[in-house]
Amino acid sequence: SQKIEQNSEALNIQEGKTATLTCNYTNYSPAYLQWYRQDPGRGPVFLLLIRENEKEKRKERLKVTFDTTLKQSLFHITASQPADSATYLCALPNNFNKFYFGSGTKLNVKP
C-alpha cells in the first residue's frame, strides 16, 4: 500500500520567513498530488494540485514542487504570517486511485 511520510514534529518559524514542508512517499508513483490545510476543528481545505509532468506550481505565496525521482513533494509558504499557522496535509492516490492522506505537519508561525 502507499506509504506517505510527513514530518510529525511541528515546524516553528518566525513571521516573514519561508516555511518548507516535506511529503515523501513510497511504492506507487502517483499521477498527481494534492496539498490541504486543516485548522483545529475544521475539515481540510484544498490548496494546490500538482501533476507528475509539472515540476512546480505556484499560487500566491504558495509553491509546490513534485520530484518523481526522489518521490518527494515540497510545499513552501513564502513571507509566512501567523495566519498561516495550521496543519498541512499531503494526499495522493495509489495505483487503484484510492486516495491516501499523510498525517500532516503542524506549522506555527510566530510574530
Partner 1 sequence: EAGVAQSPRYKIIEKRQSVAFWCNPISGHATLYWYQQILGQGPKLLIQFQNNGVVDDSQLPKDRFSAERLKGVDSTLKIQPAKLEDSAVYLCASSLGRNMNTEAFFGQGTRLTVV
Contact segment (CB under 8 A) with partner 1 among 9-17, 54-62, 77-85, 96-104 equals 96-104
Whether 69 contacts 9, CB under 8 Å: no
CA dihedral (20, 25, 31, 35) in degrees, to 10, reads -40
111 touches partner 1 (CB under 8 A): no
Give CA angle at 32 (29, 37), nearest 5°. Answer: 115
Task: Find the binder of partner 1 among 44, 75, 86, 109 (CB under 8 A).
Answer: 44
102 touches partner 1 (CB under 8 A): yes
Task: Find the binder of partner 1 among 86, 89, 107, 109 (CB under 8 A).
Answer: 89
